[in-house]
Amino acid sequence: MKFSKIIKKTHLILGLTVGLISSISGLTGSMYVFEPEITAVINNELLSVKLSGKPSYVASLKTVVSLQEVHKDSISSVSMPFRGQQTLAVQYGTKNTYYYHPITGDLIGTNAKSVVFFEWLLQLHRNLHLPNYGKYIIGVSSLLFAFLIVLSGFYMWWRIYKTRWKRGVSLSLGDTAKKINFHLHRIAGIYFFIPLFIIAVTGSYFTFDDAYEEALESIPYFQQTTISKVILPEVGEAFNLLESSLLMEGSYKLRLINYPTSKRDGYRFRYVNNLEVSSGLRKKTDIKTAVNLKILKVSSYETTTLATKIFSQMYPIHMGESLGIGHRLLVFFAGLIPVLLFVTGLRYYLFRKQS
């Protein structure tokens, strides 16, 4: 069998199988791109407060300290105002989330329905709600989609249109259902060839992150680190939430606190460089302490290896948050393309069976 026929056969078989899983991933990913804005609108009464401007970061920190003093023994996590949310989110146990005013500390309400829905959607996107092995189905499918479906599709397009590429990127529907279906498949695939490849590769990272990082860090160049220009807490010190947060405020802001529970000893504090949806690099600092708040570990973008700094950008690239609103819109539309490719590919197969 000729190489071109092997490629075509591979593209068809994987398109009809892996393409279905990729369609689910793409559709759910598109729905999740604008989660902050959608959630803020749907649950406006829980996630928004009447303020003259944005919630004061320092005031929110002081409110967290106050809530700790009252509910410390029962809190499992606290989330600061983040992305489209203006209120503090406090979890007691694992079932209910309570929302508090960031300035006054007054209880506003509980269990935002859209938040629950998007958490469900995110799990469908990441593991198909199959906790033990679903993420591997998604991860392998993403790799197959990127390196076999997308690249084989480009190879077939190139064989046909390499000497007349202008025609290859022009929409020419034709006059029959078969021709319309073929040209829709062709034009969608070639226009979104690069975005689909990047989204699929970055998506597979969340399944095989350890393997990706080990492979890159095995190269000496990517093992290099830098000296932090940010004042970070040090291992062995006693961690003071308010003081440490204010010291890092210019570069990092508190995002999340995980409190000691029956399954987790000690505290975990996560800081990020921006609490809003924004373009640019994604940076974070994680601080782990014992129950007595003695610092055990500090992991920061500032001092990590070049490999880890690169991989920390996988999420914003995958979600379209690296280059502003245009990037988010591109990821939104690109997420819909696998569905179109699957449907037109299936129709192509059925048309061929009828002829």
CB 182 within 8 A of CB 237: no
Q: To 10 degrees, what angle do helices 3-33 and 151-161 make?
A: 120
Q: Which residues, 6 or more positions from 278, have their beta carbon under 8 angstroms from its beta carbon? A: 321
pLDDT in tens, the chain (355 residues): 788 889 999 999 999 999 999 999 999 999 999 998 888 888 888 888 876 666 689 999 999 999 998 887 789 999 999 887 889 999 987 778 899 999 999 999 988 878 888 999 999 999 999 988 999 999 999 999 999 999 999 999 999 898 888 888 887 766 788 888 988 999 999 999 999 999 999 999 999 999 999 999 999 999 999 888 888 999 999 999 999 999 999 899 999 999 998 777 899 999 999 998 888 999 999 999 999 999 999 999 999 999 999 999 999 999 999 999 999 999 999 999 999 999 999 998 888 777 6
pTM metric for this prediction: 0.89
**Is there a contact between 215 and 310 (Cβ–Cβ < 8 Å)?**
no
3-state class of 99 per DSSP?
A: strand
Confidence at residue 323, expressed as pLDDT on a 0 to 100 scale: 92
Residue 333 Cα distances to 188, 284, 337, angstroms: 11, 28, 7
- How confident is the model at residue 141, as a pLDDT? 97
Contact (Cβ atoms closer than 8 angstroms) between residue 309 and residue 295: no
Q: Residue 170 is encoded by which pair of tokens? A: 């022009």
Model pLDDT, residue 40: 82
Sketch the domain layout of the chain as residue ranges: 1-33+118-222+329-355, 44-111, 226-303
